[in-house]
């Protein structure tokens, strides 16, 4: 029996594949490499290049690989791009998940751990966000995650499957040895490129949020802590656990300027920052309550201290200064 990892060549998926193989799972990866890198996929995983919307290919994989459970990371996930090209997001994320759920039902595969996002909460969150907070997505990307969760809920109600949807906050950091990390231009990778002298300076959007230093506050979770939660969720479902939605964050908030300060401390570099106007719709502060996942799955963040996150991401940046192509 094998675990099918959709999007297993992406940042988080590749870390999950690595962790599954370390735990002796047999792993199969399907990824269309739209934002992922085949070099990041563990050599012991069986790799298929293709799209989750390709039903015939999914059926072939389910038939040949004896899939026991699915980890579903495959999605487009750029909020601003989704505003400009909404149908691209609904096709890839929502229709892709529909095809997947149809094939899972056909082959009676009953367990799925799904990457959702704190972006489903939009601006409705005040203080620490728990799972009872209303969903109010501000862009098609967030809406697509709500729709994917909804589809899984109804597939569950129809008796087809049980799922765990993990609503990630800001995932960051890299595998401890620095070999698997994030290539996409987000706050920490960009700051590390500046620290390395590959970029002169960086931009922070907005210093007029209702926070102590005026920059917005986010919750950063180490990718290894996040992956550990997937393994617990997978084991929980295999042992007969019922469907659940969990927030997944460190429950610690850091402002953008606090993150930059930590990058300066870890790298010893100056990291020049310019401030530009904020983007409409960004919340002042988004910090998770991870109480539910702690009490039901026994999960705890162990490596999500911001300095540890940055130190591991810095190792990756030094390993692959221009991403996996070098
Ligand atoms: N990184 C974060 O902070 C964060 C936060 C919240 C949620 N998420 C979610 O976690 C998941 C993984 O995110 P990531 O940061 O690793 O992104 P990523 O872009 O690195 O990984 C996504 C992977 O899925 C693949 N993919 C996308 N569409 C596909 C399709 N139709 N068929 C086959 N493969 C496809 C991509 O090629 C890529 O390898 C995504 O679902 C994302 O929405 C990420």
Does position 207 have pLDDT exceeding 80, yes or no?
A: yes
**Which residues pair with residue 275 across a beta bridge?**
204
Cβ of 52 below 6 Å from ligand 1: yes
pLDDT digits (tens, 9 = 90+) for 293-318: 999 999 999 999 999 999 999 999 99
Cβ of 180 below 6 Å from ligand 1: no
CA-31 nearest atom, ligand 1: 34
Ligand 1 centroid from CA 140, angstroms: 15
Q: Whose CA is nearest to atom 26 of ligand 1?
A: 74
70: exposed, middle or buried (Cβ count in 10 Å: 0-12, 13-18, 19+) = buried
User: Bigger pLDDT: 12 or 126?
Assistant: 12
196: exposed, middle or buried (Cβ count in 10 Å: 0-12, 13-18, 19+) = middle
Cβ of 181 below 6 Å from ligand 1: no
Q: Whose CA is nearest to atom 18 of ligand 1?
A: 10
How many CB atoms are closer than 10 A to CB 205?
A: 14
pLDDT digits (tens, 9 = 90+) for 163-205: 999 999 999 999 999 999 999 889 999 999 999 999 999 999 9
Cβ of 249 below 6 Å from ligand 1: no
Q: Which of 54, 77, 164 is the best mutation target for the ligand 1 pocket, counting ligand atoms within 8 Å of the beta carbon and taking the most?
A: 77
What pLDDT was estimated at residue 244?
A: 98
pLDDT digits (tens, 9 = 90+) for 152-163: 999 999 999 999
Pairing of strands 201-205, 285-288: unpaired
Does position 280 have pLDDT exceeding 80, yes or no?
A: no
Cβ of 168 below 6 Å from ligand 1: yes
Q: How far is CA 24 from CA 27, 46, 65, 94, in A?
A: 9, 14, 16, 31
Tokens found for residue 113: 């751990």
pLDDT digits (tens, 9 = 90+) for 64-122: 999 999 999 999 999 989 999 999 999 999 999 999 999 999 999 999 999 999 999 98
Place of tokens 């601006």: 123
Where in the sequence numbering do the catalytic residues fall? 141
Q: Determine what percent of the chain is predicted with pLDDT higher than 90.
A: 91
73: exposed, middle or buried (Cβ count in 10 Å: 0-12, 13-18, 19+) = buried
What pLDDT was estimated at residue 95?
A: 98
Ligand 1 centroid from CA 268, angstroms: 31
CA-171 nearest atom, ligand 1: 3
Read off the pLDDT of each residue in 247-258 and give the average, rounded to a whole number.
97
Cβ of 100 below 6 Å from ligand 1: no
What pLDDT was estimated at residue 326?
A: 46
Q: Determine what percent of the chain is predicted with pLDDT higher than 70.
A: 98
Determine the Cα–Cα distance for residues 159 and 243; give it in Å rounded to an integer.
Answer: 11
Ligand 1 centroid from CA 73, angstroms: 5
Q: What is the dihedral of CA 32, 58, 69, 302, to 10 degrees?
A: 10
Ligand 1 centroid from CA 170, angstroms: 13
Q: At what angle do helices 11-22 and 223-238 cross, to 10 degrees?
A: 60
Determine the Cα–Cα distance for residues 135 and 144; give it in Å rounded to an integer.
Answer: 12
Q: What is the dihedral of CA 21, 23, 24, 30, to 10 degrees?
A: -30
């Amino acid at each position: 029996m094998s675990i099918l990892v959709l999007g297993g060549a992406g940042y988080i998926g590749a870390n999950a594949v690595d962790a599954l193989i370390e735990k002796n799972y047999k792993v199969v990866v399907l990824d269309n490499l739209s934002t992922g890198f085949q070099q990041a996929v563990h050599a012991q995983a069986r790799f298929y290049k293709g799209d989750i919307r390709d039903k015939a290919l999914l059926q072939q994989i389910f038939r040949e690989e004896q899939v026991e459970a699915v980890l579903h990371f495959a999605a487009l996930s750029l909020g601003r791009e989704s505003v400009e090209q909404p149908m691209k997001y609904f096709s890839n994320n929502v229709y892709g998940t529909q095809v997947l759920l149809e094939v899972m039902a056909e082959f009676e595969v009953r367990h799925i751990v799904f990457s959702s996002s704190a972006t489903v909460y939009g601006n409705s969150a005040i203080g620490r966000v728990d799972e009872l907070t209303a969903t109010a997505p501000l862009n098609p990307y967030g809406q697509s995650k709500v729709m994917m969760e909804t589809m899984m809920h109804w597939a569950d109600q129809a008796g087809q499957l049980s799922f765990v949807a993990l609503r990630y906050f800001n995932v960051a950091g890299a595998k401890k040895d620095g070999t698997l990390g994030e290539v996409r231009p987000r706050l920490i990778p960009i700051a590390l490129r500046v620290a390395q002298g590959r970029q002169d300076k960086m931009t922070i959007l907005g210093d007029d949020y209702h926070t102590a230093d005026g920059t917005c506050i986010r919750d950063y979770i180490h990718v290894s802590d996040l992956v550990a939660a997937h393994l617990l969720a997978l084991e929980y479902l295999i042992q007969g656990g019922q469907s659940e939605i969990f927030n997944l964050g460190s429950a610690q908030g850091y402002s953008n300027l606090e993150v930059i300060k930590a990058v300066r401390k870890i790298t010893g570099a100056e990291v020049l920052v310019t401030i530009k106007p904020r983007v409409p719709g960004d919340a002042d502060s988004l910090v998770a309550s991870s109480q539910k996942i702690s009490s039901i799955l026994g999960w705890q963040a162990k490596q999500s201290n911001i300095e540890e996150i940055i130190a591991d991401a810095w190792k990756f940046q030094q390993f692959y200064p221009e991403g996996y192509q070098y």
